[in-house]
Amino acid sequence: MASNKLTCIVCGRRFPRGQGVVLVVKGKEYLFHSKACALKFLRRVFEEIDEELLYSAFEKTLKKFSEELKRAELMRKKKI
């Protein structure tokens, strides 16, 4: 019987499938037993990425979240 245990790539802890955090980038899975390990990994990834590329991605994401917040605020407004 195959084991459903996965191994965290940051701390090495084993955890059952269905728990933890799984990031998929270009079809490759990156497995973390907790959000703390995922965040630790992503901090290091950010350090390795070209600053201009990272800035551009942050600005695009910020713009999308701002638009979502504006839409949500309009939906919450009381309609008379």
Claim to verify: residue 39 and residue 78 sit in the same structural domain: no
Same domain, yes or no, for 56 and 44?
A: no
22: number of Cβ within 10 Å: 13
Looking at the structure, do residues 59 and 43 belong to the same domain, yes or no?
Answer: no
Q: 1 and 20 share a domain?
A: yes
Are 30 and 57 in a shared domain? no
- The owner of tokens 């990834």 is 45
State pLDDT tens for residues 4-59.
Answer: 899 999 999 999 989 999 999 999 999 999 999 999 999 999 999 999 999 999 99
What is the DSSP code string of the chain?
A: ----EEE-TTT--EEEBTBSEEEEETTEEEEESSHHHHHHHHHHHHHHS-HHHHHHHHHHHHHHHHHHHHHHHHHHSPP-
Domain match, 27 and 7 both: yes
Range of the domain at 42: 1-48
Count the domains in the chain.
2
Report the distance separating Cα 6 and Cα 15, nearest Å.
5
pLDDT of residue 51: 94
Which CATH number characterizes residue 34's domain?
Answer: 2.30.170
